Each structure stands twice: as structure tokens, then as C-alpha cells.
Amino acid sequence: MSYKSIDVLQKSLASTIFSTKKDAKKAAGRALGTIVEIITYYLLRQWGLAANIEIETKLPEYGNPEITHNVEFTLHRILHKNRTDLTKPLTYSKLRSIFNFYPSKEKSGNFIDKNNIVKNSSIIGMDANYIGVCNLINESIVFSLLSPQASAMFECKRVGVEEGQKKGPQTIEKAKQGAYVALKSSSLQKVRDNEGKVYGIYFKDGEIFTEDYEVALKACIQFNAVENFILSFGIVSNHGNWFSSADMNKELKVLAESYDRLLFLTDEGLGSFIEKTILSPQPEYIPIREAFIESYREGKKMNTFTKSRISLNAHNALTHFFSKNIKLIENWFNVISPQGMSMTEIKDQLKYLLNNN
């Protein structure tokens, strides 16, 4: 990376692409947060999980469904899957007709509109027993019926550093928000005894069970042992706020103790992505840069560079970038917790969880 830190890179973006904004550094910081989400989303896609993803899910608290929390991504088991050739423009209504899908609750919108903007993980309809989602995969439209119960959830956390500060003032609040959702969403609940040992508590047929948390967690992943179990993932970035796995501050400890899996997107990784796709892209990745700049220009009508809504050309370029560089990209991440687990193990575990019925 040609920048000493993400903070320096943020300042560079603020003085160039975001120079016309009222608060250029904050605008650049929000864009960096979007980029972290995009990296996470296309990593999951490259792992072969595109058809499992729901974006911006209102995730209910376990046992208290009246309270929901928006999370970046949830992953669900697939009940049925089909595909068809790509045509455009394409509405949700036409997709329901193509796939003979007539749910009780239909959604309106465009999967790909006349301006070639694609909606990732488009929910075209739902019922009490399934969610109908469409994705663009390998130049085909893939339709999947997903279980409404999430099997895994992902949240991305990044806080910018204000001038004269060592870390973002909202860092601990972001950590607490993430920790609360991670601890409240799954049927496998964490408790500690007076010596700090972590136990898992869950209910079956009205009875309460308690055992070592890691033992219970392993049983949930390998044997689908507890209904409504959700494996929680946190993605954090920027050492200026969270430090590192070797030198964790309070905020990172809060996240590491709350999420089942905590991954750290390194400064080098985030900076490398921005350098290769936005600042100095090779010709095949120029559509990524163009979509990014178009999304933040003065007078733009909509953002065309987000995890959920993105230009078709940028989507195709990102898919190519992640396919070509997946080993490098996986090395951009450090596994903070559990210690000693590799990204390959994370990927295999996630796939097993989603395919274990």
C-alpha cells in the first residue's frame, strides 16, 4: 500500500474525489465503510454463497421477535434453487413469472433496470416459510428459496478518526452495538460464571440445557443441534481504532467476546483494494472506479456502488477481481477469534453449516 495508514488514505480521498463535499473527510470515511461491506459481500460470493445471502436483514432477537436489528448480511439455508438466462431490463414481477413463484407477499422493483443497475440479492417475494431471492451468478439469474431463519449473520464495523484524536470517539459505542446484536440473535446464548468461564444456554422442548460454550457451538455447526442457532460474524477494519489481535483495546475485546467469529480486514488489505480498483486500476477494473466516482459526484441521482445496488459493469469487474485474486484477498483478513482458526477453516465451517440440514 502506498499510504502509511488508512487515515492517510482517507485524507487523500477527501482532498481529491470528495473535495467538493461539505465535510470531505467524513464523506470519505463513509465511503470506506461502504467499501468494507463490498469486500465482505464479494468475498462471500467468491466462496460460492451468493445464493444464500440476504442483504440488510431485519434480524429479530431470539425469543423477542418484536425487536429487530438491521445487519449487513444474513446467510440462509437453500430450500430450492433454479436458474435462467440473463435478460434485461428485468422487473421482479417478470422474475416471479419466469420462476412460477407466487408468494403471499410480493415485492416490487427492478432486478436490472434500463440503466444497467443490478440489485444484488433481490427479494422478489416471501411467505411465512420461505424468502424468494434472485442473484446474478456466472451470467445467469439464480433464483433461490431461502429458509426465513438465518443460519449466520455478518456485521461490518468501521469508525473514522477525527482530527487530533487517536481513535474514533464512537468506537466503543459501535462495539457495544455490535456486541448486543451478536449476543441477542441466536438461540445459543452466552453466559459466564464468576471465574469467567463461558457457557452456552439453550432450550429444547421447554427444558433448559447448559454446557461449555465451544462444545455447544461445535454441536450446532456440525449436527444442527439447536433450532434457530445463528453463527455470528463481525468484520472490523482500521488499526487506528481497533488495534490488533496482539494488542487488543477494550473495544476489540468487547467484539471478540461477543461474536462467534471476529475477522479483521487489515489496513494493507483495504488499502490494496482501493489502490487496485479505484485509484490506479488496470483496464479491466476501470468500471469499478467509474461506479465509485459516479456515486459521489455532485448532483448524482443514486448511489451505484453499494453492496445491494451496483452498476452491472462494476459488478462484473468485481466478480472477476475476486475470482482472480481470492487467495490474496483471504490473506487480507486476520482471524481475531477464535485464535488459531484460518480463513480456510472459516469458509469450510460456514459452508458446512449452510448445507447441514
Q: Grid coordinates standing for 285?
A: 477494473
Q: What pLDDT, on a 0 to 100 scale, did the predictor assign at position 3?
A: 59
In one-letter notation, the amino acid at residue 188 is L
Q: At residue 168, does pLDDT exceed 70? A: no
Residue at grid coordinates 481475531 = 336
pTM more than 0.75: yes
β partners of residue 234: 155, 262
For the chain, first and last CA: distance in Å?
43
CA distances from 243 to 3, 10, 17, 251, 332 (A): 18, 18, 28, 9, 15
CA atoms of 58 and 131, how far apart (whole Å): 13
Per residue in 173-199, pLDDT tens?
A: 888 899 999 999 999 999 999 999 999
Ranking 160-164, 300-304, 350-354 by mean pLDDT, the lowest is: 160-164
Q: What pLDDT, on a 0 to 100 scale, did the predictor assign at position 118?
A: 96
Q: Greater confidence, 249 or 92?
A: 92
Q: At residue 163, does pLDDT exceed 60? A: no
pLDDT band with cut points at 50, 70 and 90 for residue 27: confident
Q: At residue 239, does pLDDT exceed 70? A: no
Provide CB contacts within 8 A for 111, sequence distance 6+.
90, 91, 92, 95, 118, 119, 122, 124, 134, 136, 141
Provide CB contacts within 8 A for 28, sequence distance 6+.
10, 11, 13, 14, 17, 18
Query: 52: burial class by Cβ within 10 Å (0-12, 13-18, 19+)?
Result: buried
Q: At residue 162, does pLDDT exceed 60? A: no
Q: Greater confidence, 3 or 107?
A: 107
pLDDT band with cut points at 50, 70 and 90 for residue 138: very high
Per residue in 248-279, pLDDT tens?
A: 778 888 899 999 999 999 989 999 999 999 99
Helices (H), 259-311: 267-274, 286-296
Ranking 9-18, 134-143, 300-309 by mean pLDDT, the lowest is: 9-18
| 142 close to 51: Cβ distance less than 8 angstroms | yes
Q: At residue 1, does pLDDT exceed 50? A: no
Section 57-76 average pLDDT: 97
Per residue in 32-47, pLDDT tens?
A: 999 999 999 999 999 9
CA atoms of 253 and 247, how far apart (whole Å): 10
In one-letter notation, the amino acid at residue 263 is L
β partners of residue 61: 64
| 59 close to 75: Cβ distance less than 8 angstroms | no
| 107 close to 303: Cβ distance less than 8 angstroms | no
- For residue 322, give the 3-state DSSP assignment: helix
Q: At residue 309, does pLDDT exceed 50? A: yes
pLDDT band with cut points at 50, 70 and 90 for residue 19: confident
Section 125-148 average pLDDT: 96
Section 205-210 average pLDDT: 93
Q: Greater confidence, 149 or 26?
A: 149
Q: At residue 352, does pLDDT exceed 90? A: yes
Q: Kind and range of the H or E element at 31?
A: helix 24-46
Q: Greater confidence, 236 or 164?
A: 236
Average pLDDT, whole number, for the chain?
90
Q: What pLDDT, on a 0 to 100 scale, did the predictor assign at position 160?
A: 58
- For residue 107, give the 3-state DSSP assignment: coil
pLDDT band with cut points at 50, 70 and 90 for residue 241: low
Section 285-311 average pLDDT: 90
Share of the chain above pLDDT 90, in %: 71
Q: At residue 97, does pLDDT exceed 70? A: yes
CA atoms of 311 and 324, how far apart (whole Å): 20
Q: What pLDDT, on a 0 to 100 scale, did the predictor assign at position 242?
A: 61
CA atoms of 220 and 57, how far apart (whole Å): 22
Provide CB contacts within 8 A for 279, sequence distance 6+.
289
pLDDT band with cut points at 50, 70 and 90 for residue 172: confident
